[in-house]
Amino acid sequence: MISSLIRANANKSGIYLSLIYDIEYKPTYIKKSASEPASIKKLKNEIKGVTWYQANSEINQIHKITELAGYYSVFFEFFNGKKANFRDGYWLNRSYIERAIRGYCEIWSKLSKNENIIHGDYSIDNIIFTEEDLIIIDWEHFTYSNIPKGFDALNLIYEQVYILSLKQKLSSKIIYHANEMLKRLKFSDCLDKIFFNSPLDAMQESLSDNSHIWGKQLSKLPIMKFNKFECNNLDSKINLRNN
């Protein structure tokens, strides 16, 4: 097999990412490895998330795990598919957003009201889209938490709203579409009522109250970059107050 380093210590994570090819130079596995205790802990937490996801989606991702003294690595299956460009923003990515919300509901609708589980970075950038399905990847922030259902889906929606807001004002068609996504989450029993009236404000509060999950990365999250005025403005337009 041939190995090619793709990413080294991104965001000072201490995790190294390599693409593994077979003898015909066909991508076969994604390898993640770490050698520092904190980095190994992150990688092991990701395995917990992937294992939970496998059990609820029947999509197997883990091929092999190697654990030695001061070293930990995982071979993930390589999936042929497409990754949307999250920098395109909401409107250009609306079909991917719809598929991501549908995929979220397929998994999280199975949970009971007492099961509060988050991916922690549910983003267009962390989904591989195939012709008929989608695969959620990068479970580093997987957590059994007190954050209510719907959090991850809203994170994806508002991330794309934020990216678009850097380029242009939000149009009525985008606001309408975002509201339709909230309705879909609600009617699929995948959105806690805490997010009905002021979803963005409730999201920021959930992030702040659970800052230990993201650590120093918290302030870098797109959803935390909305100021109070922007937050109130969006919450007056995107909500389920009358639904």
pTM of the model: 0.94
Contacting residues for 40 by C-beta, under 8 A, at least 6 apart: 34, 71, 72
Q: What is the pLDDT of residue 238?
A: 98
Compute CA 67 distance to the chain's CA centroid, rounded to the nearest angstrom.
26
Helices (H), the chain: 37-57, 94-108, 151-165, 172-187, 199-209, 228-237
- pLDDT tens, the chain, 243 aa long: 788 988 887 767 889 999 999 989 999 999 999 999 999 999 999 999 999 999 999 899 999 999 999 999 999 999 999 999 999 999 999 999 999 999 999 999 999 877 899 999 999 999 999 988 999 999 999 999 889 999 999 999 999 999 999 999 999 999 999 999 999 999 999 999 999 999 999 999 999 999 999 998 999 999 999 999 999 999 999 999 987
3-class DSSP state for residue 161? Answer: helix
pLDDT of residue 1: 78
Q: Identify residue 158 by its one-letter amino acid code.
A: Y
Instruction: For residue 48, give both structure tokens.
Output: 């917990």
Q: Angle, nearest 10°, between helix axes 151-165 and 94-108?
A: 170
Q: What is the pLDDT of residue 178?
A: 98
SS3 at position 130: coil
Place of tokens 């390599």: 18
DSSP 8-state assignment for residue 36: S
Say whether 231 sits in a helix, a strand or coil. helix
Domains of the chain from N-terminus onward: 2-77 (3.30.200.20), 86-237 (no CATH)
Q: Measuring CA to CA, which residue among 66, 68, 65, 78 is closest to residue 26?
A: 78
Q: What pLDDT score was predicted for residue 115?
A: 85
- The pLDDT, as a whole number, for residue 36 is 94
Q: What is the 3-state composition of the chain as percent helix, strand, coil, each rounded to the nearest 5?
A: 45, 20, 35
